[in-house]
Amino acid sequence: MILKSKSSKLSIVNLLSDYILSQIPKEEESIIQVVDCNNFYVIKGKTTHNETLDIVKIKDEFISKYEELLGERKLSHTIDLIEYDSKINKVDHLSFTLHNNNKNCSYHYKQIESFINDDTNSYDFDLHIKTIDEDKSLIFCSEFPHGYSLNQGRLLYYYGKHIFYNIPKSYPVSSLIFELTTKKNEDDEQVLSVITPSFENDNILESAILDVFDFNMNWLETEIKKVDWSNEITNPLEDYNFLKKKIKDFIIF
C-alpha cells in the first residue's frame, strides 16, 4: 500500500470513497471507487443497496467535514456512475503484503520514515517502485481497502493484520505476503499461504498460525463496524487496538 500525506490527492480520493461507503448499510455488498481527474471527480461503483444516494449532498457534507484537509482543492464537479441493486459475489480469497514495524503493518518502515519526515514523494513497497510526484499524474484513483465493504476482501485484510500483529517480535521476519481464503480444502482444513520476500512458503509460520487461528471473523466484523474507517486516512500510523489483540497460545517452535 502507498502511504501519502493525508492531504494528498490519493488520500482524498481514498477518504471520499470510504465516506460514500459509510452512507450505505454495512450489511450490503459494495465497491466504491473515486477518480480525481483534476477538473472533476468520477464516482464509480456497484452495490447491492437499492436506494440511490444523494451524491451532491454527500459531497457537500464531505467538503464541510474535511475542509481543513481539502485546503484550496475544489470538489465542485462530480460524475455519479454508481450501479444500484447489483449482484456482487463475496470475495473469498485475498493476497496482500504486511510489514514488521512499530506503527502500522500495512506500511514498510521506510514509507513511515518518509511520512514522518514529510517527504513529498512516497514509496510503494509492494511494487518496489518509487511513485511519481502528484503534479505529474493526470488521475488518481482510490485504492483497496478504501471503498470496499467488509465482504469484498476488507474483512480478510483486517484478519490478516490481526494474525501478523501476533507474530512474536523475536521471529525473523520483515515483510510477508499473506494469501488468505475463507475456503477449506478437501479434508475440511483451513488453507493459508505465508510467503517470504524470497517467494518461498514459510511452512513453520503457516503451521503455527493454523494451530491457533480458527478464521472465525465474527468478532472482528462486530468490532470493525463500531469504528470510523476514516481514521485509516486521517491518522494512518495508528491502527485499531483490537487488531493488535494478543493470542496467548500463539507459539512458534
Give the model's confidence band at 197: pLDDT under 50 very low, under 70 low, under 90 confident, else very high: confident
**Mean per-residue pLDDT for 237-243?**
96
pLDDT for the residue 132: 47
pLDDT for the residue 133: 59
Looking at the chain, the domain(s) classified CATH 3.30.300.10 span 9-87+134-141
Strands (E), 84-208: 93-99, 123-124, 129-130, 140-141, 175-184, 190-195
Q: pLDDT exceeding 70 applies to what percent of the chain?
A: 93
Q: Which three cell numbers stand for residue 230?
A: 476514516
Q: Is 190 exposed, middle or buried (0-12, 13-18, 19+ CB in 10 A)?
A: middle
**Mean per-residue pLDDT for 230-243?**
95
The yes/no answer on whether domain 9-87+134-141 falls in CATH 3.30.1370.60 is no
pLDDT digits (tens, 9 = 90+) for 113-131: 888 887 545 545 454 444 5
Q: Which of 19-23, 99-103, 189-193 has the highest mean pLDDT?
A: 19-23
